[in-house]
Structure formats: structure tokens, C-alpha cells
Structure 1
Amino acid sequence: MNFIDCHCHMAADEFLQDIDEVVEQSRKAGVVALVSVTEHEHEFERMIALSGRYSGFVLPCFGIHPIQSDADCYRSVTMQDLEPALPMFEKYKDKLVAIGEIGLDFTPWLASTLEQREEQQRVFHMQLKIAQKLDLPVNVHSRSAGRQTISFLKEHGIQKVLLHNFAGRLSAALKGVKAGYYFSFPPAVTRNNQREKIIRQIPLENICLETDSPSLGPNKEERNIPENVRISCQYIADVKGLSPETVCEITSKNAMCLFPKICENLHS
């Protein structure tokens, strides 16, 4: 089986010490591509370096996450977080496979005020415009804002979308399906049955695989790694009553449809 991890964080600090080993393990497990996102501007150059080091395998995305961190303190994003990154999108536009990780996060203790949420929407909107200008798909975060995120994407005419680790209501997800959006689920879904109903109802033709490495693995206390994409595949197969081979085949086709530059890299 040839797996595609459509959402991971290979430029994260957690992979600094053993990235070669992690990449090699992923390849041995049957992973053929890692769509790797960023959260902060300071990860951009590291992401490009990794994509050069593992050419055709680590595929770079640029994005400013709706939640930022300052000395281990988490806060809602501001335009000041995005502005220094803007020249980088243009500089590396030919290398990017998507814009991400971007989106909305209305977790009450992180974005409790209307002003914070409106600022998130401004940052999100500006990055959506970059994606449209560069004709790239978007890799989207939507914690505590599933309905709002899908509505926002539709309002702005965004068509090429991956909603990663979607945990919103089924009714919102089905609106996303109708809009042609894709959804992906990390290995953490195996810890409980919260996503079972959504996974069962979303057509396999709208599902991709992800790990969100180094987060959201099968064991909360352990670092997640891309080879665990097999766990997501098996869980989706079990929920839908399909073989993991079928889930792998269809989700990989979906990934190549959503992220066409994957095909270019696989055949280069």
C-alpha cells in the first residue's frame, strides 16, 4: 500500500534530532509523500530545507496558524504574525504544494473576544487570497469553529480544501462534502469513538489520511510519527467496513487530486 500523509509537521522541533530515521521509517512503512505544514514564520526556511533534503517526499506548505505561542504561552493570531511571512510566500511559490496550516480556532480560553475572532478571520482571509493567487489548495484547521470555517471558505469561493482533524458537527461536514471539500483524520481518532459518526457519513471519495505528527498520535503521551498513517487507514476501514487496501487506494487518489503537485513529485 502507498500511503500519503496529507497533514504533518516535519519542521517541528520534535523532529530536529532524528529526522533522517523518521523519514526512513516512513518510507519503509509504505508512505510515499508527506504534505508538511507550518504554523509560524520561523519554520518556513526549515521547511524549504527539508523539502530539498528529501526531495519529492517532504512536500512543503506555508501557513500561519490561528493560534500562536510566545514562550510557552498560547494566544490568538494577529496580523503582526502574518506580515513578516508575506514575502516568503512569493519567494517560494514554485516549491509550495499548498497553503497551510491556516484556519480558525475559537477555543474559548484562546480566542474569547469578538476582536480576537475577527482578527483570526482577517489573517485567514489574507492567506486564502494568497492561495487563490498562487492557485494552491489550502490545508485548514477548524477547532471549535467547524461550521464557521466551512461557511467562511464557501463565502470566499475557496474550492480546493482539506479540513484536517475535523471535529465539528456532521451537518457542517456534509455542507463541506457538498462543496467538494476533503476531510482527514489522525491516529488519535482511535482513542475514542467521537469521529466514528462523521467518518461513517462522509463518502470515502472525500477523505484523506493524515497523522498531524508529532501531535495526535494513537498514544497521547508519545510523539506521533508519519508511519502511523497506517493506523488512521485501518480505523477508517473498520468504521466503513472496507479493506485497508481500498481505503489506502482511494485516499491516495483523493490526495493527488487535491494536491496535484504530489503527482509531479512522485514522477520526477
Structure 2
Amino acid sequence: MEYGFVDCHCHISAREFEEDLEDVIQRATEAGVETLIAVTEEVGEFGRVLQLHERYPDLVAPCFGIHPLQVGGGSEQRSVKPQDLDAALPLFYQHKEHLVAVGEVGLDFTPWCAPTQQDRDNQMEVFIKQLSVAKELDLPVNVHSRSAAKVTIATMREQGISRALLHNFAGKPSVALEGVQAGYLFSFPPAVCRNRQRDKLIKQIPLEHVCLETDSPALGLEKHVRNEPSNIALSCRYIADVKGLSPETVQLVTAQNAYRLFPKANRC
């Protein structure tokens, strides 16, 4: 069976795509993208991602999640608080039929984003609560782990999570292998092509545990240029190059991995 690309982690409901969404979608399908796993960061996005799923039912696979960083008063990011999750919780249950995963959830212990222990405790509380929702709804989790790779994987293992995608993973290879052991998958965006920093990591993770993502509109080839799902081929070619495989093999295996992890996306 032939598969197209699966973008396992993108923000297609982001404001950056509002003005030319149809063109973005068209470029994605022309590039061979078959499924967009559409993550959310805050409750205000939930409705938008469902609308996009209704509009593109064969393409957009919606996820609900509250990200460890939230936008504060201005455009500054602040660490998530437990009350940020309150309005979201009933919606997970209300729309569970449509959801393919709980995400984007996780931990971000970057010092300027989570400067205090209280910030980290709040993030942990919100993360654990969403992991329990995922277990209850029998859904995988789509996970952010910045400056917190080891503790994120350890927490998921402690909470009995067996199905997880660690997106844009940048932890140590030894930490990644703990995740591999737990059965978790790892995805890499086009930004990995900017330098060779993650070659060792990509080499060590077995292909059966690798997925493709764009994280669009962020993490593209150029730092301040909007990224979009059509760029997923860049990640594919880069991973193929690092692993010494053909891009066709990487495309096929990563798509199979994605549908194994997100079985509901296969029925989109």
C-alpha cells in the first residue's frame, strides 16, 4: 500500500495561515501530504481546529491540548497555570469522537519561560492531568519537551503512557533511547536541516520510532520565514540522508509509524 506524507505535528489552525489557508492546503496536497495531525496550544483554538476538520475531513486530524507555555498579556509567553486547563477539560470529553490525540502537551523548563519551581510544578500538574485524560479516552499524546526531555519521558512512563510522540526532540540520545524502550516515537521538523546538531540523535533512534513533522508555521528551514506543511519533504530527505536510506523508504515507514500511533487519523 502506498502512503503519502503524514505531518505528525503542525499548527494549521494558527493565525499565520488564516489569509491563504486554501493555498497552503493545496501546496501541501501537491507535495504529497496525506494527513495533518493538527495540534492546539490553548482552549481558544479548539473550535478552529474542529472547523478545519469539518472543512477538510480527509486531511485535518484534530488534537486538543493545553501547551506548557501560554500567551500572557502581550505576546509574551508565560508558564501554564492549572486554571488554563479548566475551560478545556469538558471539551475533551464533548468532542472525543473527533480527536486523534491529546496535544500539544508537555513540559518546558527553559529558564526564562519557567523561572520558578512553582512554574514547573504548575506545568507538571497540567501535564499529568492531560495524560490522565488521554488514558481515559484511549488516545495517544503529542508532546513538547524543551529543556525537560528526561523528566517528560520519566513522567509519561510513571503515568502508564504507552503511546506518545515527542515532537522536535532535542534531548540526549541516551534519553531518547529510554523513550524508544517505552515504545514512544520521535518527530523532526525541517529546522533540523539548518545544522548537523541532531545527526547523532537521528542516527540512534530506530526508523520504526521516527515520524515526520513540520511544526508549521514555526521551525522551518529559515528562522523567520513562515513554515508550512508542504516542507515536510525536507525533513524526510534529511533523515534519509543521515540514516543512509532512500527518501521513499523514510516516507513509507514514517507514515506507517504515524498511523500505528494515531490510528484514528487513518480513518480521517
Class of the TM-score when normalised by the shorter of the 2 chains: over 0.9
Q: Does residue 258 of the first structure (1) align with residue 261 of the second (2)?
A: yes
- Structure 2: give runs of 5+ residues left out of the alignment: none
Which position in structure 1 is the counterpart of 2:21? 19
Normalised TM-score (structure 1): 0.98
Which amino acid in 2 is paired with 1:19? Answer: L
> Superposed, which structure 2 residues align to 1:88-107 within 5 Å?
88-107=91-110
Segments of 5+ residues of structure 1 without an aligned counterpart are none
1:180 aligns with 2:193: no
What is the rounded CA distance, in whole Å, between the counterparts of 1:161 and 1:24 in structure 2? Answer: 29
Large movers: runs of 4+ above 4 Å? none
The answer on 1:31 being equivalent to 2:33 is yes
Kindly provide the CA deviation profile for residues 135-167 of structure 1, in whole angstroms up to 9, marking residues without a partner as x: 000000000000110000001110000000000
Alignment coverage as a number of residue pairs: 265
| Alignment deviations for residues 143-196 of structure 1 (CA, whole Å, 9 cap, x no partner) | 000011000000111000000000011111000001110000000000111111
Per-residue deviation at 1:129? Answer: 0.6
Which SS does the other structure have where 1:61 is aligned?
A: strand
Equivalent residue runs for 1:225-264 within 5 Å: 225-264=228-267
Partner AA of 1:227 in structure 2: S
In the other structure, the counterpart of 1:46 is: 48
**TM-score, L = length of structure 2:** 0.98
Secondary structure of the equivalent of 2:177?
Answer: helix
1-structure distance, mates of 2:9, 2:241: 21
* Alignment partner, residue 7 of structure 2: 5
> What is the root-mean-square deviation in Å for CA atoms of aligned residues?
0.7
Identity rate, percent: 57
User: Following the alignment from structure 1 to structure 2, what is the Cα–Cα distance between the partners of residues 137 and 73?
Assistant: 29
- 3-state DSSP of counterpart to 2:98: coil
| 1:30 partner letter | G
Secondary structure of the structure 1 residue equivalent to 2:41: coil
Read off the aligned partner of 2:59 and give its amino acid letter: F
Distance 2:198 2:264 in 1: 29
Does residue 1:79 correspond to 2:46, yes or no? no
* Map of 2:115 onto structure 1: 112
